[in-house]
Structure 1
Amino acid sequence: MALRIDRGLFKYDFIDHHAVLCVPVDADVKELRKRYLTIARRLHPDANIAASAGEKQVAGEFLAKLVNPAYEKLSAERTRAEYMIVLSQMGKRLVQESSSVELHTDLARELVNAPESNVNQLYKAAIAHIAKTQYDSLPQAPQVIAEISELNLVYLMRSANKLLAAQPSLVQPTNNSTPPQPTPAPNSTVTAQAATACEDSMLESYIRRAQSLMDKNQLSQAQIELQDALKLEPKNSRCHSLIALVYLKQNRLKMAKIHFDNALKLDPNDKTSLEWKPKLDKALGLQSGGAKGTPSTNNSGKQSDKSGGGLFGSLFGGKKK
């Protein structure tokens, strides 16, 4: 597998070790070590007993060619200090060359437009979110690393305290020769409105990714996207109804009911909840009646969150073949 990455900081002949490990550029040694151990356990051949020989080989290449060198560079005091100096200079260079910077991901563009007070929070939240599944799909891992490196690129430019003047050319390059007009300092109301708009944009990104994953039946990853969306906006009825649908498809009926109920409390007209909750309530009623009011249990005697396959199949019009 080709491990070449040509986006983000990599595009400037710079190896973005922070992107390889998926840690913020200001991560300390303790955080670096913790993240490295997590990735190493995920990629080490001995930890992938069920993987094929080819999959183990690819995982070993990631570990040997990218992950181990990144950790060695960032964990040693001298090499890390040298690396951070180069990284700082890279940020200043990018600000000067902002008109030629290309961004390919929504997250990077959202970070460009984030109000100054929210940059650090949104950047680290995005990094932490991506880290959860960074190496779940090794064929997609180079693309994920490129996405992280774009976030690092924007964060470096924002940290240089010069991005605001260059920001229009970064977001929408233009040939207009009209000199830029000075930007008035934002008041607290404008800043709050910008922060809200940025959070809304992040939320929509989580929802879009979740819906795409649901269409592909990648339910566990869709669940993670929606859980993170709910951390950002706990009272969003759309997120509650979507994660309820994910739980329903996973046959986790009790969790589905909780979130359908939450969605309808927040928005009595939520279409997804109105469509599925009556079916779920009916199915749970049938299950309860069939069991004579006794909750289903697993072999250990603990109450189960799941029902039988027949019940789940009935909700979706029969079992999939």
Structure 2
Amino acid sequence: MSQTFLPPKWLQQLCDPYAVLGISVIAGDRQILKRYHTLAKLLHPDRHTKSSKPDQELATAIFSHLINPAYEQLKHQEKRLMAIAMLRSFALEQKPLSSQSAIAEKILEMSTPQAELFYEEAIACYAEDQYKSLDQFYQVTQQINTLNLVYLRLHKPDLQSTQKAVSILSKVEVKPVELTLNQKTDVKPVVTYAQRHYQRAIEYVKLGKWPLAVSELRDAIKLEPNNSDYYALLGLVHLKQKFIGMARVYIHQALKLNPQNSLALKYAPEVKIQSGKNTNPKSMATAMSIAALLSRFAQKKGSQVKW
């Protein structure tokens, strides 16, 4: 099938392969591969057997001429870094981006730790709807591209440091973190995919590999959003990175789900949370406003985001 089947402006989206796949610019190898497999299933011809012929052809064309080339670019480290460099250059040269997106404007008002958390949640929100309606693909991908450019404008350091977290952190002497793993949890005896993410996160925490632990715990929370242990450990990870506001948000959520969570109770005083009392620190108010903003966006798109 010829590439001319797709509008030229759609093909131009390949300048941001991250936006085409619906992932953040700090996504690692595993996240890129996982997203590619998800899109391969979503756009497979078998899923469109009941659709009209034009819809089937459109799904095939998008996968062949957009998804595949984007994945080919991002699965190679050197090409990935070239894509980041090009996007960063474009972000720094372009006119102010805030007017293009209400969410982008919100990010520009935040502190760096808050912006990073909000950015990834916003990308996940857009990604949910990106390919549900192929007619809306172009508009949603544009929004993701705007978020990527805003993030790159805010984060001047080379993202190589994030993508090579394992090799860098292994050279740094990190004090082991003391964790009580025999505490009571709500996890069932049968090991789930969420628990596997959680167990890997525990190992990364012991090694002081914070970015990898954060990634595993976010995956666990997506699969089991009501497990207090995941939030408590994520709060601890942010605390060890000295992101106090973010640590407070997750430890607070852990105690909300389970007031007796031992790990959350242990570190609550360090983030100024008094157990047994309803507190409303400034960072929690900010987090709730972020959640409300994303929720309004999700309602407009016909989907819901769980927080």
With the length of structure 2 as denominator, give the TM-score of the two structures. 0.52
- The match for 2:108 among 101, 109, 112 is 112
1:264-283 aligned within 5 A = none
Corresponding position of 1:201 = 289
Q: 1:193 to 1:137 in 2, by over 3 A?
A: same
Change (3 A) 1:26 1:211: closer
CA distance, structure 2, for counterparts of residue 2 and residue 124 of structure 1:
29
Verify: 1:160 aligned to 2:165, yes or no: no
Q: Which runs of 4+ in 1 moved over 6 A?
A: none
Alpha-carbon offset, residue 19 of structure 1: 0.5
Change (3 A) 1:124 1:102: closer
1:110, distance to aligned residue in structure 2 (A): 1.1
Q: Deviations over 1:109-145 (max 9, x none)?
A: 1111122221111111111222222100111110000
Distance 1:211 1:81 in 2: 35
| Alignment gaps of 5+ in structure 2 | 1-5, 158-243, 246-279
Pair 1:24 & 2:24 matched: yes
Q: Tell me if the contact between 1:114 and 1:195 (Cα under 8 Å) persists in the aligned partners.
A: no
Higher mean C-alpha deviation, range 107-116 or range 150-159: 107-116
CA–CA distance in structure 2, aligned partners of residues 76 and 210 of structure 1: 33
Q: Would the alpha carbon gap of residues 65 and 199 (structure 1) be closer, same or farther in structure 2, given more than 3 Å must change?
A: same
Task: Quickly say closer, same or farther: Cα 1:5–1:113, change in 2 above 3 A.
Answer: farther
User: Which letter maps to 1:15?
Assistant: C
Give runs of aligned pairs for residues 305-316 of structure 1, distance below 5 A.
Answer: none
Structure 2 residue aligned with 1:235: none
**Alpha-carbon deviation of 1:43?**
1.0
Largest Rg, 1 or 2: 1
Maintained 8 Å contact 2:36/2:71: yes
Supply the AA of the counterpart residue of 2:121.
A
Equivalent residue number for residue 133 of structure 2: 137
Query: SS of the counterpart of 1:122?
Result: helix
Gaps of 5+ in 1: 162-187, 232-321
Deviation for aligned residue 1:37: 1.0
| 1:40 pairs with 2:40 | yes
Deviations for 1:56-109, whole angstroms, at most 9, x for unmatched residues? Answer: 111112112211111011112332232233234334434xx54xx453222111
Instruction: Give the Å deviation of 1:207.
Output: 4.1
* 8 Å Cα contact 1:92-1:160 kept in structure 2: no
SS of aligned partner of 1:103? helix
- Residues 177-188 of structure 1: pairs in structure 2 closer than 5 A: none
CA distance in 1, matches of 2:92, 2:15: 17
State the 1:159 CA deviation: 0.5
- Judging changes above 3 Å, is the alpha-carbon distance between structure 1 residues 136 and 195 closer, same or farther for their aligned structure 2 residues? same
Deviations, residues 170-191 of structure 1 (Å, cap 9, x unaligned) = xxxxxxxxxxxxxxxxxx99xx
3-state secondary structure, aligned to 1:51? coil
Deviation at 1:152, TM superposition (A): 0.5
State whether residues 5 and 146 of structure 1, in contact with CA within 8 Å, keep that contact through their aligned partners in structure 2: no
Deviation at 1:210, TM superposition (A): 5.3
- TM-score, normalisation: structure 1: 0.50
One of 105, 123, 128 as aligned partner of 1:127 = 123
1:44–1:59: 8 Å Cα contact kept in structure 2? yes
Structure 2 residue aligned with 1:178: none
Which residue does 1:2 correspond to in 2?
Answer: 7
- Cα distance in 2 for partners of 1:207, 1:28 equals 26
2:80 alignment partner in structure 1? 80
C-alpha spacing 1:3/1:105, structure 2 compared with 1 (3 Å): farther
Q: How many residues align?
A: 183
CA pair 4-198 structure 1, distance change in 2 beyond 3 A? farther
- What residue identity is the alignment partner of 2:296? R
- The answer to whether the 8 A contact 2:98-2:108 is kept is no
Q: In structure 2, do the counterparts of structure 1 residues 138 and 74 end up closer, same or farther at CA, with 3 Å as the change threshold?
A: same
Q: How do 1:197-276 residues align onto structure 2 when only pairs under 5 Å count?
A: 198-209=286-297, 212=300, 218=302, 221=303, 224-225=304-305, 228=306, 231=307
1:107·1:202 contact (CA, 8 Å) conserved in 2?
no
Identity fraction in percent = 28
Distance 1:87 1:202 in 2: 25
